Amino acid sequence: MSNDDLRKLWEECNQAIRVDHDNSSSWLLRGQAYHSNGQWAFAIDDLSEAIRLAPSDVKAYGLRASAYYCTGRPEVAMADSQKAIDLDPLSPDGWSHRALRPLARW
């Protein structure tokens, strides 16, 4: 994704959040954009808000697990991965991040 595309996505997500602050999908999408750009702290904040608004959102838990892993917080990442698995044992969102476990000091 180009920088212009990413900037436009953030602007549209910001507008969607201003219009409906309680729309978990907008928080998830913006968190995903931050995640894709390596802005882990912003991603964690937005994904946490998406989870607060939609506590059964497996994708948000999986992405937040990845962001926590990337910030050197494998214990928290593991908890989010497990929550994603608990919510949907067939979803790859939790399992894919648990696969990183051998690479970290869990």
Average pLDDT on 23-50 reads 96
Report d(CA 91, CA 3) in Å as an integer.
Answer: 30
**Amino acid sitting at position 9:** L
Q: Answer yes or no: are the C-beta atoms of 69 and 104 closer than 8 Å.
A: yes
Range of the domain at 13: 3-103
Q: What is the pLDDT of residue 106?
A: 42
Number of domains, the chain: 1
Q: What is the pLDDT of residue 42?
A: 96
pTM: 0.88
Q: What is the pLDDT of residue 104?
A: 53
- Residue 46 is part of a domain; what is its CATH number? 1.25.40.10
pLDDT tens-place string over residues 41-60: 999 999 999 999 999 999 99
